[in-house]
Amino acid sequence: MLTLHTISGPAPDLFRQIDLSGGIVAGVSGGSDSTALFLLLKRYLDQAFPKAPLLAVTVDHALRRESAAEAKDVARFCADRGIAHRAMVWNGEKPARGLPAAARQARYRLLAQAAADAGIAMVATGHTADDQAETVLMRSLRDGGGYGMAGMAPATLYDHRVWILRPLLGLRRSELRDFLRAEGADWLEDPTNADESYERPRTRAALRSDDARFGEILARAGEAARIRTDLGRRAAELIRAHAGLPVQGLVRLARDFIVTPDRPAAVHALRILLATVGGVAYLPDAARTQALFARIAKAPQGAPLRATLSRTVIDARRGAIFLHRELRGLPPAQKVSSGSVWDGRRRITFGDETGGLVIGPRGMEPVAGVPAQPADVPQSLARRALAAEPVVLKAGLDRKTRTENAAGFQIRPVAAPFAHFLSWFDLAPARAVSALIGAGAVPELPWAGKGAFPPAESLTETRGYAWQRQALSLC
């Protein structure tokens, strides 16, 4: 059981750059990291935002018999401080393979659900520099590094609605435990954290007592974060300069895009556009995209080139390069619920509709109400792009009765690679491609000031986000 103690003294400066006036949800498992996070948040809010709600949420993954009792321990811990607490249970069958990843997905989903139910737009988790180093090392051993070597971002937008913040990324777990000991606070130990049949505990053991390797990994992560953020910024500039949407579902790239001197940024922009047009959550393979880019660049201008990657048809012509969703593999006509995402590309929302709505692809036959295409867009391409767009059907699939005038009905584009998890590192390209397809503005970061968070120069610090390391010294 958790030992309950009151923290006294000045509030830490750990959260000063975050706008917490609207409150925050803290993921609290009862372990040392989340317990320290909760206590630090409580102290800060008491002094800086005394009226802001703080909701502690414990996700019970229902994987161990003790988990329900541990959630009750956390509830008592919170009740003694007058803090609201909610336990969220991961119900249903658990996968036989990939359990840690599935549990992580369930945890974020349930934390975001709790935040949305409470009308709070932020969730804080207790990830530390140790978690960061373990994550980066696992990724480097699994796939040689690359895009994921930046590790966990200090902020991630979940489902385009809730910001998940990781304010402890610059602190070692040992520092947090020293803080808890100084306060006389205990914490729970999850035995699965020491079970080396799982990848993360094995990685944790490999890093134990190797400070030199630990520092080297975080330095590499900081540099990778800087490179990834800069590459995304340059890719965003190319998307804004060279990409257009002449017809819904059809992206037009100017020929200047292919001859840009910044080829790495152009290839990255093309990966983002391919995933967005195809409705795919993950960017296509970098090597395959580079090869495709090289084919387009080497082909004589005017010579037709057609290829498919990530469910997207690339049609290069004399005037421009066009991208549209291929017609294979489109969802069949079926009933959908309001808020569902169709084909990874379009979010369908509507009010009360008797019998529900049936959504299916438009198809190649002419449909009344289709807007005229610009003169410089081949009609055949416009028709193919529109054929992959969703159309609304009434009950009975033998006729296509348009019901766009139904109460509250809306079909809105979704930027697939950024729709579920949008990392702080990728904000620039996400904003550019969302503006291009009309997906709506990306919610603003919840920062209190105008400065970057974390400060850009801190990304290359050996220990990670150096500004955070001063926090506990202020307690």
Please give the pLDDT value at position 397.
Answer: 38
Residue 390 lies in a domain: no
Taking only the tens place, the pLDDT of each residue in 398-407 is: 444 444 445 5
Provide the β-strand partners of residue 87.
58
Provide the β-strand partners of residue 361.
390
Please give the pLDDT value at position 196.
Answer: 62
Average pLDDT of the chain to the nearest whole number: 84
Residue 230 lies in a domain: no
Please give the pLDDT value at position 144.
Answer: 63
Residue 442 lies in a domain: no
Which of 115-129, 189-203, 430-444 bottoms out in mean pLDDT, i.e. has the lowest?
189-203
CATH code, domain with 194: 3.40.50.620
Please give the pLDDT value at position 371.
Answer: 58
How far is residue 414's CA from residue 276's CA, in Å, rounded to a whole number? 8
Position 110 confidence tier, pLDDT thresholds 50, 70, 90: very high
Please give the pLDDT value at position 242.
Answer: 98
Position 148 confidence tier, pLDDT thresholds 50, 70, 90: confident
Question: Of 6 and 134, which is predicted with more confidence?
Answer: 134
Question: Of 444 and 429, which is predicted with more confidence?
Answer: 429
Position 202 confidence tier, pLDDT thresholds 50, 70, 90: confident
**With 0-12 CB in 10 A as exposed, 13-18 as middle and 19+ as buried, what is 45?**
buried
**Angle subtended at Cα 126 by Cα 160 and Cα 54, rounded to the nearest 5 degrees:** 70
Taking only the tens place, the pLDDT of each residue in 77-106 is: 889 888 899 999 999 888 988 888 899 999
Average pLDDT (62-70) is: 90
Taking only the tens place, the pLDDT of each residue in 385-433 is: 999 999 887 544 344 444 444 556 789 999 999 999 999 999 999 999 9
Please give the pLDDT value at position 147.
Answer: 75
How far is residue 35's CA from residue 177's CA, in Å, rounded to a whole number? 10
pLDDT at residue 180 is higher than 60: yes
Average pLDDT (368-378) is: 67
Please give the pLDDT value at position 396.
Answer: 41
Which of 133-142, 382-391, 428-437 bottoms out in mean pLDDT, i.e. has the lowest?
133-142
Q: What percent of the chain has pLDDT over 90?
A: 55
Residue 437 lies in a domain: no
Q: Count of H helices and E strands in the chain?
A: 12, 18
Domain of 148, in residue numbers: 24-224+449-474
Residue 391 lies in a domain: no
Average pLDDT (183-195) is: 75
Taking only the tens place, the pLDDT of each residue in 457-472 is: 333 343 334 434 433 4
pLDDT at residue 73 is higher than 60: yes
Average pLDDT (287-312) is: 93
pLDDT at residue 119 is higher than 90: yes
Please give the pLDDT value at position 449.
Answer: 59
Provide the β-strand partners of residue 262.
none
As given in the structure block, the two tokens for residue 254 are 């100017």
Residue 35 lies in a domain: yes
Q: How many domains does the chain have?
A: 1
Largest Cα separation within the chain, whole Å, is: 74
Query: What residue spans of 344-401 are helical by DSSP H?
Result: 379-387
Which amino acid appears at position 468 of this protein? Q
Which of 16-25, 347-356, 450-459 bottoms out in mean pLDDT, i.e. has the lowest?
450-459
Residue 407 lies in a domain: no
Q: How far apart are the first and last CA of the chain?
A: 25
Please give the pLDDT value at position 182.
Answer: 86
Average pLDDT (142-163) is: 86
Average pLDDT (268-294) is: 97
* Cβ atoms of 383 and 371 closer than 8 Å: no
Please give the pLDDT value at position 351.
Answer: 72
As given in the structure block, the two tokens for residue 163 are 């910001």
Residue 71 lies in a domain: yes
